[in-house]
C-alpha cells in the first residue's frame, strides 16, 4: 500500500490535447509555420511549453523567434485554457476513492505553476494536498528537484510514495527521487513507448489506481462477475444493500468467514447473519422454519428484515459463533442479489465497518475503514434506507425484535396479525 500518490497532470489527470493543439496551431498560423493535427501533439508535448514550441518551430528557427512564439502560445493558451479540457473517464471517481482511503494526493506538472493550479482547482477542487507546476529558474521533470519538494510538503518518505504519469519523464523523475512509478495507458503515450522507457506497471483504467495503491479493488456497479470471482477464491467483498454496505464472504468457506472477523476486528463470539436470495436458500441452511417466516418473506423480502431461525448446522461454526440459530436476510439491491444468485451460496455478511465504528452507507465510507483489509468494494451507490435491518427472532414465543432498524414493528405486526415484543415503533 502506498500512502502518497503524486500525479502528472496532462495526459494523466486531464486530457488537454485539444486545447494545447489549438494554441499550438494558432501560433503556427501567426508565424507562417506548418500546423499539426491534434494527434501529433500527443508526441510533441512534454517538458513544458517552451519545449513544445521548440518542437513546433521549423528547423533553423532562431532563438528569439522561438521565445516570441512561446509568449504567443502562453497568451493564447491562458485565454483558452479550458475550452475542451476534461478529466479522463474514471479519474474523478478514482481520486475520491483514494482520498477516502486516506491516501495523500498531489500533482506535479511541467506546465507553468499558475496554469497548473488553475486547472486543478477548476476540475478537482479540494482533492489534492499539494499542487506543483513549473517555476521560473527551477528544472522540470525528469529532474527530481520539484518532486523532492513535493515529498517534503507531504511529509512523505520516497519509499511510501509513487509517481503516476504517462511519459518517460515521469518514470525517470521517480527513479531519481527514489519513489515508485506507475504508468498510465489512457494518456498521450502508448504501451510500446512506455515499455521502452522502462515502465514496469502499466494501468489501463483509472480505477486500477485504487487497487494498486490500497490493495482493495473498486468494482463498478454491475460488475457482478468480478465480485463472484473474488468471493469464490475466498476473498472478502463489500457489497451494497438498501440498508448499509455489508462485508461479504462465501458463508460455506470457513477461512473466508474467519477473515471477516479479522478484517472487522469483530469479537469472535458474535454470530454473523447471512444474505440469501430467497426462502429456497434459507431452507438449505435452516430447519423448523415456521409458516410465519414465509409470510414475512413474502411481505418484506427483498428488504430490511433479518429473521432469526434454527440453523441446520450446514455452515461453518464461525458463522453462528457456535450457536444453533441463524440470521437470514434477502437484500434489496440488484447487484448484491445478482452476486448471491451467481455464486449460488449464502453470504456471511455483517456491516462493512470496523467493529464499533459507524456502518458505511457508500463505497468511499467502506474504503475509509477497510481499504487494504478486504479484496474489493462493489460500488452500488448510496444506500437508500441508510440504517441496519430490523432483526426479528422467530425462535422464541412471542416473536421478539432484537434490533429496530429499517422496518417498523407496526409493519411486522400488521403482516403477522399478532403482537411482537421488543423495542421500536
The per-residue pLDDT for 183 is 99
The per-residue pLDDT for 47 is 86
Indicate whether 52 pLDDT > 70: yes
Using one digit for the tens of pLDDT, what is the confidence trace for 260-275? Answer: 999 999 998 899 999 9
Name the phi and psi angles at 352, rounded to 5: -90, 60
Q: Are strands 376-378 and 237-239 parallel, antiparallel or unpaired?
A: parallel
Using one digit for the tens of pLDDT, what is the confidence trace for 94-134? Answer: 999 999 999 999 999 999 999 999 999 999 999 999 999 99
Average pLDDT, the chain: 97
The per-residue pLDDT for 109 is 98
CB 107 within 8 A of CB 118: no
Task: Round to whole Å and give the CA distance between 316 and 253.
Answer: 7
Output the DSSP codes for 292-311: HHHHHHHHH-SSSEEEEEEE
Which pLDDT band, with edges at 50, 70 and 90, does 1 fall under? confident
Using one digit for the tens of pLDDT, what is the confidence trace for 285-338? Answer: 999 999 999 999 999 999 999 999 999 999 999 999 999 999 999 999 999 999
pTM here?
Answer: 0.92
Output the DSSP codes for 67-105: HHHHHHHHHHHHHTTTSS-EEPTTHHHHHHHHHHTT-EE
Using one digit for the tens of pLDDT, what is the confidence trace for 371-414? Answer: 999 999 999 999 998 899 999 999 999 999 999 999 999 999 99
The per-residue pLDDT for 268 is 87
C-alpha cell at 85: 479540457
Indicate whether 425 pLDDT > 70: no
Using one digit for the tens of pLDDT, what is the confidence trace for 147-181? Answer: 999 999 999 999 999 999 999 999 999 999 999 99
Amino acid at each position: 500500500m502506498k500512502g502518497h500518490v503524486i500525479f502528472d497532470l496532462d495526459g494523466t489527470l486531464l486530457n488537454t490535447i485539444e486545447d494545447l493543439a489549438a494554441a499550438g496551431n494558432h501560433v503556427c498560423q501567426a508565424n507562417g509555420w506548418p500546423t499539426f493535427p491534434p494527434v501529433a501533439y500527443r508526441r510533441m508535448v512534454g517538458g513544458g511549453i517552451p519545449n513544445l514550441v521548440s518542437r513546433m518551430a521549423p528547423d533553423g528557427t532562431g532563438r528569439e523567434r522561438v521565445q516570441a512564439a512561446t509568449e504567443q502560445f502562453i497568451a493564447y493558451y491562458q485565454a483558452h485554457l479550458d475550452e475542451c479540457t476534461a478529466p479522463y473517464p474514471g479519474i474523478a471517481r478514482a481520486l475520491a476513492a483514494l482520498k477516502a482511503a486516506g491516501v495523500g494526493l498531489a500533482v506535479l506538472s511541467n506546465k507553468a505553476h499558475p496554469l497548473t493550479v488553475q486547472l486543478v482547482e477548476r476540475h478537482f477542487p479540494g482533492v489534492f494536498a499539494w499542487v506543483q507546476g513549473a517555476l521560473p529558474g527551477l528544472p522540470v521533470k525528469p529532474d527530481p528537484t520539484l518532486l523532492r519538494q513535493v515529498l517534503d510538503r507531504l511529509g512523505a518518505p520516497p519509499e511510501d510514495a509513487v509517481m503516476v504519469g504517462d511519459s518517460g519523464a515521469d518514470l525517470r523523475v521517480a527513479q531519481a527521487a527514489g519513489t515508485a512509478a506507475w504508468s498510465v495507458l489512457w494518456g498521450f503515450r502508448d504501451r510500446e513507448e512506455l515499455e521502452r522507457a522502462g515502465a514496469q506497471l502499466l494501468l489501463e483504467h483509472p480505477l486500477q489506481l485504487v487497487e494498486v495503491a490500497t490493495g482493495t479493488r473498486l468494482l463498478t456497479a454491475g460488475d457482478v462477475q468480478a465480485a463472484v470471482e473474488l468471493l469464490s477464491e475466498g476473498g472478502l467483498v463489500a457489497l451494497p444493500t438498501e440498508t448499509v454496505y455489508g462485508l461479504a464472504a462465501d458463508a460455506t468457506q470457513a477461512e473466508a468467514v474467519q477473515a471477516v472477523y479479522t478484517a472487522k476486528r469483530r469479537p469472535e463470539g458474535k454470530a454473523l447473519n447471512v444474505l440469501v436470495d430467497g426462502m429456497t436458500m434459507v431452507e438449505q441452511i435452516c430447519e423448523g422454519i415456521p409458516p410465519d417466516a414465509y409470510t414475512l418473506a413474502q411481505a418484506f423480502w427483498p428488504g430490511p428484515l433479518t429473521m432469526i431461525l434454527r440453523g441446520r448446522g450446514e455452515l461453518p461454526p464461525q458463522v453462528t459463533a457456535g450457536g444453533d440459530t441463524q440470521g437470514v436476510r434477502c437484500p434489496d439491491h440488484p447487484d448484491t442479489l445478482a452476486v448471491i444468485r451467481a455464486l449460488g451460496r449464502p453470504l456471511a455478511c455483517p456491516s462493512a465497518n470496523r467493529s464499533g465504528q459507524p456502518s458505511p452507507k457508500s463505497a468511499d465510507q467502506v474504503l475509509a475503514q477497510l481499504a487494504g483489509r478486504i479484496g474489493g468494494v462493489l460500488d452500488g451507490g448510496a444506500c437508500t434506507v441508510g440504517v441496519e435491518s430490523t432483526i426479528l427472532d422467530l425462535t422464541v414465543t412471542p416473536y421478539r425484535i432484537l434490533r429496530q432498524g429499517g422496518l417498523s414493528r407496526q409493519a411486522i405486526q400488521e403482516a403477522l396479525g399478532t403482537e411482537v415484543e421488543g423495542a421500536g415503533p
